[in-house]
């Protein structure tokens, strides 16, 4: 349990209230009760502010005068909320040990402070560093390296030669290092191209459930420091994802694409292979990226939802767009001829 004064210090927020007030937990504006702390970071939830039962609310300066309870004022309420939550909800105690049902090759190097869960399999030559957590049902191939304090929650597969850095978090069902989609047409039949690279993942990377990162065809697929991948993301062979980039769910990135640092890619977007995206690029959801993006900025290509009737009309007009453009060009040229010098 923390006091408001301690939370203000943790978050860097300005407290307007009793610094000795004890806070049990954090909750949403609508469901918060006495003894709880909440936050307001999205204008859609302003309607809950006046009726909240929270003891205090983290919010921005523009909203403080509408709040009936104690406030913690800061520039980024969501960031402050995250910092408070990390302190108030600590990780569960780590217990080392190896479950008797785990199958571990004799030539592995496993630090004594690790945890290896039930029915996990670890292949020859793999190294598991101190305080790493390998949950139940994980499969680790040959020559794999897992860094300190990295957690494989459950049913994670790391194929041969994969390297995972420190403080990683891989959620259930993640597959790292499966073959990339490398095929070539040989007179009407598909010939598989051997995928002889691997995957190199740096420190502080989080990978969501059922996400896949393919091994490289020749060189490694690379995920740099601090990258965050949501659930069901597909990273193709030979891709490089720059440091501190965040990629939302159901994004697909085709082989050999290079994604810059500090990028954000919205859900269900698709990135073509062999293109480059600059640092600090934001791609909104359901966008298709078929060409390189060379400058930082916000890019979109998805069609926002509308009524079905309007959508049908727009699609019908879109089909005739080329013809309309040609007719307009002819009219402009004719008009120019008529109004031009004699």
What is the four-CA torsion angle of 128, 131, 135, 137, rounded to 10 degrees? 20
Q: What are phi and psi of 41, to 5 degrees?
A: -125, -10
Closest CA to 168 of 192, 148, 144: 148
Q: What are phi and psi of 243, to 5 degrees?
A: -55, 140
Q: What pairing do the DSSP bridges indicate for beta strands 281-283 and 297-299?
A: parallel
Retrieve residue 126's tokens.
Answer: 């793999």
Catalytic residue list: 237
What's the start-to-end Cα distance of the chain, in Å? 88
Closest CA to 215 of 269, 157, 152, 290: 157
Sign of CA dihedral 10, 16, 19, 21: negative
């Amino acid at each position: 349990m923390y006091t408001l004064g301690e939370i203000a210090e943790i978050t860097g927020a300005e407290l307007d209230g009793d610094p000795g007030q004890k806070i049990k937990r954090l909750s949403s504006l609508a469901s918060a009760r006495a003894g709880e702390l909440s936050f307001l970071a999205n204008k859609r939830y302003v309607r809950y502010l006046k009726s909240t039962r929270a003891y205090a609310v983290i919010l921005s300066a523009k909203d403080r005068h509408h709040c009936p309870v104690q406030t913690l004022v800061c520039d980024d309420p969501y960031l402050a909320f995250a910092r408070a939550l990390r302190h108030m909800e600590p990780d569960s105690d780590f217990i080392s040990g190896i479950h008797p049902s785990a199958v571990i090759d004799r030539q592995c190097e496993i630090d004594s402070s690790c945890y290896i869960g039930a029915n996990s399999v670890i292949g020859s030559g793999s190294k598991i560093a101190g305080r790493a957590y390998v949950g139940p049902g994980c499969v680790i191939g040959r020559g794999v390296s897992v860094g300190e304090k990295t957690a494989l929650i459950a049913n994670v597969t790391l194929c041969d030669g994969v390297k995972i850095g420190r403080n990683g978090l891989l959620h259930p069902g993640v597959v790292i290092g499966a073959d990339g989609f490398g095929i070539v047409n040989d007179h009407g039949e598909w010939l598989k191209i051997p995928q002889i690279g691997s995957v190199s993942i740096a420190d502080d990377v989080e990978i969501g459930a059922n996400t896949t990162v393919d091994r490289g065809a020749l060189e490694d697929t690379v995920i740099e420091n601090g990258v965050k991948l949501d659930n069901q993301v597909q990273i193709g062979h030979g891709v490089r994802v720059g440091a501190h980039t965040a990629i939302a769910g159901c994004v697909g990135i085709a082989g050999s694409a290079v994604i810059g640092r500090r990028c954000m890619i919205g859900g269900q977007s698709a990135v073509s292979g062999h293109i480059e995206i600059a640092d600090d690029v934001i791609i909104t959801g359901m966008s298709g990226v078929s060409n390189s993006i060379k400058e930082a900025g916000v890019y979109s290509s998805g069609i926002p939802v509308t009524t079905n009737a309007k959508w049908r009309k727009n699609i019908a007009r879109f089909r005739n767009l080329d013809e309309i453009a040609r007719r307009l060009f002819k009219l402009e040229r004719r008009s120019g001829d008529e109004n031009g010098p004699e």
